[in-house]
Amino acid sequence: MRIAFLTAPEGVEEIELTQPWKAVLEAGWIPRLVSTEPGDVRAYRHLDKAGRHSVDDVVGEAEDGDGGGSGPAALADGFDALVLPGGVANPDALRLHGGAVEFVRHFVDAGKPVAAICHAPWTLVEAGAVSGRILTSWPSLATDIRNAGGTWVDEEVHVCRAAPSTLVTSRKPGDLDAFCAALVEEFGGHDNRRG
């Protein structure tokens, strides 16, 4: 399985990128770092600069509807599941990038599982993917999730299997063990259902 990790060029919470990445590798799957710009992404440990991570794939701007087979939807077709790491600046930048939002929306609409932690559900809100769904996040997003038609819960990890796709969500870095276990279970179950 190929797993996309979508981040902005700067502001991703490093542990929320590296620990799920390690879990995906240990499951025998292929993680790929997708961003809105080529090169490296700058990770952070809270507000302190951390490591740089090489971008594998670049999500372009939203397609103009010409059906030419390129753009965010075509890129998303090459993956089986999506991980959205948090950090405050990361999802805030992604939700302003039309191509990133379309990329996320395509996973949800295609019924592919998505895992989002901390502030990452902001991107799900922007993609119109939380209405009628139950999820968790960093507590400051609760009102945004409710305003978008979702139900916010204060849980270490929450798995919502409502159609069209499974959402695995967690609140913060302290929830990463539960988050990683749930995403591996859900992504693996999705792969088994496909095969």
What pTM was computed for the model?
Answer: 0.92
Q: With left for phi above 0 and alpha for psi between -120 and 50, is residue 192 left, alpha or beta?
A: alpha
Between the alpha carbon of residue 118 and those of residues 27, 55, 58, 73, the distances in Å are: 23, 22, 23, 25
Q: Which of 53, 97, 106, 118 is catalytic?
A: 118
Can you give the pLDDT at residue 46?
81
Question: Would you give per-residue pLDDT tens digits along the chain (195 residues)?
Answer: 999 999 999 999 999 999 999 999 999 999 999 999 999 999 998 877 788 899 999 998 655 444 445 689 899 999 999 999 999 999 999 999 999 999 999 999 999 999 999 999 999 999 999 999 999 999 999 999 999 999 999 999 999 999 999 999 999 999 999 999 999 999 998 655 544
Q: Is 119 a catalytic residue?
A: yes
Question: Which domains, ranges and CATH numbers included, belong to the chain?
Answer: 2-194 (3.40.50.880)
Q: Which of 119, 160, 180, 190 is catalytic?
A: 119
